[in-house]
């Protein structure tokens, strides 16, 4: 309980870099990711207000509100804040939850932490580079991994396979 209070007060200090405490990187990146210690209020001018609320205030978009739910082209899903690639289209699937869902992230590009917002513990995940909140991972996904990476569409930017990926934002 005490740690929860500390995390909350940390989150309230918008001048601090947004790197969630106790986070654990999932898998190993081909090229190691250097965390970006950018004060969260500096992201305000770079992302939409709706994306900011999700990425840096851990809001959740209403189900079926993102166009990415219906995106079926081949391509890459980037963090909408810093442009780090987080998911490949090959791992997207229809979960019928109303949120874009994936069976796995790109190794080493997301990190998880446990949150207690719903009283019971859930595994939150975020961009391993800028710390921007993306969604939650559940253990009711399809085989073989059995994982459902349930993502806010507004926290992602889709780049079709035929387009070059943008440079990472710093």
Interacting residues with Zn ion (CB under 5 A): 79, 81-82, 84, 127, 129-130, 132
> Least distance from C-beta 119 to Zn ion, angstroms?
28
Closest to Zn ion by CB, 69 vs 80, is 80
Whether omega before 110 lies within 30 degrees of 0, making that bond cis, reads no
CB of 131 to Zn ion, least distance (A): 7
Whole-angstrom Cα distance, residue 76 to residue 108? 15
Structural element, H or E, at residue 5: helix 2-12
> For residues 39 and 146, which CB has a smaller minimum distance to Zn ion in the complex?
39
Per the annotation, the verdict on 82 as an active-site residue is no
- Beta-bridged to residue 127, according to DSSP, are 110
Least Å from the CB of residue 129 to Zn ion: 5
Q: Report d(CA 140, CA 57) in Å as an integer.
A: 26
Catalytic sites, residue numbers = 150
């Amino acid at each position: 309980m005490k740690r929860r209070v500390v995390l909350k007060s940390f989150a309230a200090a918008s001048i601090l870099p947004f790197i969630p405490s106790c986070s654990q990187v999932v898998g190993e990146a081909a090229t190691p990711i250097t965390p970006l210690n950018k004060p969260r209020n500096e992201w305000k001018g770079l992302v939409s207000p709706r994306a900011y609320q999700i990425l840096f205030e851990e809001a959740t978009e209403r189900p079926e509100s993102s166009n990415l739910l219906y995106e079926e082209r081949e391509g890459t899903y980037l963090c909408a804040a810093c442009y780090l690639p987080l998911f490949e289209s090959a791992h997207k699937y229809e979960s019928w939850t109303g949120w874009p869902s994936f069976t796995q992230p790109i190794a080493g590009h997301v990190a998880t932490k446990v949150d207690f917002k719903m009283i019971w513990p859930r595994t939150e995940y975020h961009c391993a580079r800028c710390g921007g909140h993306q969604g939650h991972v559940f253990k009711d996904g399809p085989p073989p991994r059995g994982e459902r990476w349930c993502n806010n569409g507004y926290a992602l930017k889709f780049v079709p396979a035929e387009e070059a990926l943008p440079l990472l934002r710093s």
